[in-house]
Amino acid sequence: MSARQDGGADAAQRPERKEVVQRGLWFEEYEVGTAYLHRPGRTMTEADNVLFTTLTMNTQALHLDAAWAAEQPGFGGERLMNSMHTLSTLVGLSVAQLTQGTIVANLGFSEVSFPKPVLHGDTLYAETVCTDKRESKSRPGEGIVTLEHIGRNQHGDIVARAVRKTLVRKRPAGEGTA
């Protein structure tokens, strides 16, 4: 372990202490039916929208062209946040709490929906419900966890929802419980 990883060169001179490394949940720690609330939220900006939209080659005028969007009925004259940015941010908000260092793979998304638009300046708040989990039949030491991600804006309106299946590591031998 490098000095940077263990807290610096003088770490050996410190008294013994308990150290907790930020990580997601091991398979055994997921509880079906539990809602995990991810905070803080993320305020979506025009810069986020333009950068993500152009990086992903989505030239939809509703994301990029303020003058054109202002003339369109049904959107209040505002540009919409790219829905794939909303989905990516929704999942990203869950990483530190659920999957940081414990996920093996995303197995797929289903039931993706965007019931209300997200606009520049809206804040996205994420929550995740564990809806199912089972041990992997083909990969010992891992399990499949099904998660429902729900995104709400600052008014509490649901703006995004997605079901995601993940392959998650089981707790390594010798790893204590929290």
Give the pLDDT confidence score for residue 175 in this predicted structure. 76
User: Please, what is the angle between helix 46-55 and helix 83-92, to 10°?
Assistant: 110
Is the pLDDT reported for residue 2 higher than 50? no
Confidence at 25, pLDDT banded by 50, 70, 90: very high
Is the pLDDT reported for residue 125 higher than 90? yes
C-alpha dihedral, 112 to 90 to 176 to 22, nearest 10°? 160
Distance CA 112, CA 147 (A): 12
Confidence at 13, pLDDT banded by 50, 70, 90: confident
Tens of pLDDT, residue by residue over 82-97, are 999 999 999 999 999 9
Confidence at 3, pLDDT banded by 50, 70, 90: very low
The one-character DSSP state at 52 is H
Give the pLDDT confidence score for residue 10 in this predicted structure. 63
Is the pLDDT reported for residue 6 higher than 60? no
Residue 50, C-beta contacts closer than 8 angstroms, at least 6 positions apart:
63, 64
Read off the pLDDT of each residue in 26-46 and give the average, rounded to a whole number.
97
Indicate the pTM of the whole model.
Answer: 0.86
Q: What is the mean pLDDT of the chain?
A: 91
Cis before 73 (ω within 30): no
Confidence at 1, pLDDT banded by 50, 70, 90: very low
Read off the pLDDT of each residue in 146-158 and give the average, rounded to a whole number.
99
Tell me how crowded residue 81 is: count the other CB atoms within 10 A of its CB: 28
Read off the pLDDT of each residue in 135-150 and give the average, rounded to a whole number.
97
The one-character DSSP state at 57 is T
Domains in the chain, CATH or no CATH each: 22-44+81-169 (3.10.129.10)
Is the pLDDT reported for residue 11 higher than 80? no
